[in-house]
Amino acid sequence: MANYFRPHLLASFAVMALVSAAAIAAPPPQGQDQKDAAPHPLAWAYAVPPAPLPPPPPTDETAARTIPGSTQSFTVKQLRDTGNPVDWFPNDHPPMPAIVAHRRSPGVNPWIGSCGLCHYPNGKGRPENAGVAGLPAGYILEQLADFKNGARKTADTGKRNTAVMSGNAAGITDEEAKAAAEYFASMKMTPWIKVVETETVPKVRNAGGFFVPVEGKETEPLGQRILEMPVDPDATETYRNPHSGWIAYVPVGSIKRGEELVVRGGAGKTIACAACHGEGLKGNGNFPPLAGRSPSYFARQLYDIQQYTRNGPGTQLMRPVVQNLSEGDILAITAYLASLEP
């Protein structure tokens, strides 16, 4: 896997000249390890479930189900099979590598492989994991290495699926990593999250790392949060429909505030992102794309990098970017990024 780092690091050195060397070299803040961090910062982004989810209601597991636009049909048993995630739209993507389509080691670790289970066969992902479609293959391999060697953890250890992701990265072979990376890199990210500025949102419950509206028409103030929820909760929760997207409710005015930070660096508070992440924030070489992706996921990443729980080699260039960001800045930045065309 080592070869994949080199082009990235060379590109990194070129950009480093743009950034103050002192800021890059800044050591982790003294004594500020995970234990000292606030228990649930950016709680809307980590969405730690308050209690284990109740088991799904009993239903006829053998009844065939279909969704609009798909010629496939699956039983509820198949829909709930975590080892062989359903593929509603096989024509949407090239043939999936085995590691994307199936769990590799039944009985050993119930989660290793079947990347498509969490990230969907089309790689678009969900707020509780990550959109991996259209990420550079070299970047994906680097992240898998960081997850594997412990350089990428979550700042809120209540978020358990990050550790599951690390287990995946540790459990796959280099060949499988390469196959998955090339597959997801070849998938294009298309509009997936609709961003809406609002003061009031539907009252929600935590559905296991993401939010869905509770029954009824109750609402509550949004406050200083972003709430990302499925456009059609049943399509997402029950059917895992990879064509059914997300809506992100963001505070009024946050997109404009985010634009100031992202485009102009907020008068020295951070660094204009396009310098590395490319024009339109669509990525550049191994610098990952930022446009039109999950605000919850990105808020966690900015905070994890700031707290040094995500601390792989590539994050050195992000140090001066995240250093002075408040939780409010992170909210505004991620609202703006999500509002862009991917």
Q: Which of 101, 145, 333, 338 binds ligand HEC (CB under 6 A)?
A: 333
3-state secondary structure 236-305: HHCCCCCCCCEEEEECCCHHHHHHHHHHHCCCCCCCCCHHHHCHHHCCECCECCCCCCCHHHHHHHHHHH
Q: Which residue's Cβ lies closest to ligand HEC? A: 314
- Which span (35-43, 58-66, 88-96, 132-140) binds ligand HEC, by CB under 6 A? 132-140
Does 179 contact ligand HEC by CB under 6 A?
no
Question: How many chain residues interact with ligand HEC (CB under 6 A)?
Answer: 49
Provide, rounded to whole angstroms, the least separation between the CB of residue 46 and ligand HEC.
Answer: 8
Q: In which residue are the tokens 């990879």 written?
A: 242
Q: In which residue are the tokens 């978020």 written?
A: 159
Q: Which of 42, 67, 101, 132 binds ligand HEC (CB under 6 A)?
A: 132
Q: Which two tokens stand for residue 335?
A: 């609202």
- In the region spanning residues 186 to 225, those forming contacts with ligand HEC, defined by CB under 6 A, are none
Q: Which of 115, 222, 332, 335 binds ligand HEC (CB under 6 A)?
A: 115
CB distance 254 to 331 below 8 Å: yes
Does 129 contact ligand HEC by CB under 6 A?
yes
Does 306 contact ligand HEC by CB under 6 A?
no
66 SS3 class = coil
| Radius of gyration of the chain from its Cα atoms, rounded to whole angstroms | 20
Provide, rounded to whole angstroms, the least separation between the CB of residue 71 and ligand HEC.
Answer: 26
Q: Which two tokens stand for residue 188?
A: 């294009």
Does 248 contact ligand HEC by CB under 6 A?
no
Q: Which residues are near ligand HEC by CB under 6 A?
A: 15, 19, 99, 111, 113-115, 117-119, 129-130, 132, 135, 140, 142-143, 154, 159, 161-162, 164-165, 168, 172, 180, 261-262, 270-271, 273, 275-277, 287-288, 290, 297-298, 300-302, 312, 314-315, 317-318, 321, 333
